[in-house]
Copies of this chain bind each other. A is one copy, B any other.
Amino acid sequence: MQTLIQSVLTLRRDASERDALADTLEADTLETVDVLLAGTQIQAVASAGTLLRAANQRVIDGRDKLLLAGFVNGHTHSSQVWQRGLIPQLPLELWLANVFESTPRQLDQIYWGAVSTAVDTLLSGGTCVMDHAYVIPGQEMETVAALVRGYRAVGLRAVVAPLIMDLPFASGFPKGCLLPQSASPRSASELLALMEAMVAEFHDPDHGIYIGAGPTGFHRCSDDLLAGCADLSQRYGLCYHTHLLETRAQHRLAQERYGISAVQHLANLGCLGPRTSLAHGVWIDEADIDRMAKAGATLVHNPVSNLRLGSGLAPILKCVQRGLNVAFGCDGSASNDAQNLLEVIKLGTILHTVTEADYDHWLTPAQTLRMATVGGARGVNLGHCTGRIAPGFDADVILYNLNHPSLLPSTNPLQLLVLGRPTEVVESAWVRGRQIVDQGRLLTVDVTALHHALLQPSSPPQRAQTQHHPVEPHYRNVMLNR
């Protein structure tokens, strides 16, 4: 069946979007259009009143509604749903010590984590997620199977990039670590073989499920693993996704270990390319930005998490000015205790005024909405099929109810969607042409079952750990007592 959405507001398509070639971020006005969804795709977009109803079409009255391409949550860790609210505010390295201790270890938790992440994504305007996924040691295939089952159950488009690493936790600290080293994880070759098996088993672009190559980050990975993932990415066309220079400690570690910029090091290993998305990049400099832009890579900005962990301010305005593609991520629920894309986009829109006095350079809602859609799609290597409302693109679209009290009075819907605090405004959502949300309700999964699982977990959440983990004195000494 086809769906015709008539007379609906949308972001004005600029010339570049009409031919789907370039990614200018300039359009900031609305236009009223008719949109025809057919099969898995958007079949037509035309000025309002020009697409006439055919016999086999369901018609939706788009008046007082806004249609946007679905956002991409460019970086999260779905299992952390179980840890939201749990971990104190600490710098990443100390926070991680707490996260590990309370990480869920059961496959049903993994499944419900994916379902919860998918539902929160949809109800905050997203249709696709990059799950940089924790995998249970020894149950790696089973973990990915549970995640895929979760995303399929909801119907979200998902890239699952298992977090893999072959260096121990302590190697992520500058100046080594005086504590007993944690057990070394699997070797690079074992991990790469495992990834090949996962690609064979789960990578399924025709049905919106993808495997990504997701080395945790240079701080936890050997060069063999980093480069091996680049090889995988190239051979199978996978998104290459990794943490990059999230913290000042990682910046110091890169200097210590490589003597050159971490970004240059990744480039030297062949890890920077148009399929590469790098999460955080708080501590990249202008030369790094230029390297990443030249390679066609994507920076995934996680503003809530960056503040929550005190990681710093990513240089997003510079990235935009220098032509680097930027996407948004929620990051996991242990460092952003919600998975709401509209919240992340709002903060990303207003935060960077603190680094720039000239208001002509401030990000506008239209710009950040494009980052969340076009930019996000590119970041997960899916810029050819999602992130735009244009003929031939997959029908990954969200219909917002502009008459919801949180979007009133009717002033500028784009500004209010981004700068307000909209709640329950997603009226309908389609992913690959399939309607997943109608009247604000999920059509695929039973959210009361999800609620029940979160309410009475099979393994009750642990209470917050102490702020003073054994690794703390070392960290304090290295990072604060300079």
Report A's interface with B, CB cutoff 8 A: 81-86, 88-91, 94, 248, 304, 307-310, 312-313, 336-338, 340, 343, 347, 349-351, 353-354, 356-359, 362, 364, 403, 405-413, 415-416, 419-421, 423-424, 447, 450-451, 454-455, 457, 460-461, 463-464, 479-480
Most chain B beta-carbon neighbours within 10 Å: one of A85, A86, A353, A451: A85
Assess A307 versus B350: contact at CB under 8 Å? Given A411-B461, A455-B403.
Answer: yes
Assess A91 versus B359: contact at CB under 8 Å? Given A86-B415, A409-B84.
Answer: yes
Q: Is the CB of B411 within 8 A of A86?
A: yes
**In the complex, what residue of chain B is closest to A308 when comparing beta carbons?**
B350
Q: Is the CB of B350 within 8 A of A411?
A: no
Q: Is the CB of A409 within 8 A of B461?
A: yes
Give chain B nearest CB distance to A377 CB in angstroms: 24
Measured CA separation A313–B313 after assembly (Å): 13
Q: Is the CB of A454 within 8 A of B86?
A: no
Measured CA separation A479–B357 after assembly (Å): 9
B307, B403, B463: the one within 8 Å of A351 (CB): B307
B88, B90, B308, B480: the one within 8 Å of A357 (CB): B480
Assess A461 versus B353: contact at CB under 8 Å? Given A310-B359, A340-B421, A420-B84.
Answer: no
Chain B hits for A337, CB < 8 A: 415-416, 419-421
Assess A454 versus B409: contact at CB under 8 Å? Given A310-B362, A415-B337, A479-B357.
Answer: yes
**In the complex, what residue of chain B is closest to A310 when comparing beta carbons?**
B353
Q: Is the CB of B359 within 8 A of A455?
A: no
Measured CA separation A353–B89 after assembly (Å): 9
Given contacts A81-B409, A358-B480, A409-B457, 18 further A-B contacts (CB under 8 A): A83-B411, A84-B411, A85-B407, A85-B409, A85-B411, A86-B415, A89-B364, A304-B350, A307-B347, A307-B350, A308-B353, A310-B357, A313-B354, A340-B421, A405-B447, A405-B450, A405-B451, A410-B460
Most chain B beta-carbon neighbours within 10 Å: one of A353, A357, A364: A353
**In the complex, what residue of chain B is closest to A454 when comparing beta carbons?**
B408
Q: Is the CB of B358 within 8 A of A415?
A: no
Q: Is the CB of B343 within 8 A of A421?
A: yes
Assess A359 versus B85: contact at CB under 8 Å? Given A405-B454, A409-B454.
Answer: no
Give chain B nearest CB distance to A204 CB in angstroms: 30
Give chain B nearest CB distance to A12 CB in angstroms: 15
Chain B hits for A91, CB < 8 A: 359
Measured CA separation A136–B407 after assembly (Å): 26
Most chain B beta-carbon neighbours within 10 Å: one of A89, A338, A349, A364: A89
Measured CA separation A312–B407 after assembly (Å): 27
Q: Is the CB of A307 within 8 A of B464?
A: no
Q: Is the CB of B412 within 8 A of A85?
A: yes
What are 9 A-B interface contacts by the 8 Å CB criterion? A83-B411, A86-B415, A310-B354, A337-B415, A347-B347, A405-B450, A408-B454, A411-B464, A415-B464
Q: Is the CB of A406 within 8 A of B338?
A: yes
Chain B hits for A336, CB < 8 A: 419
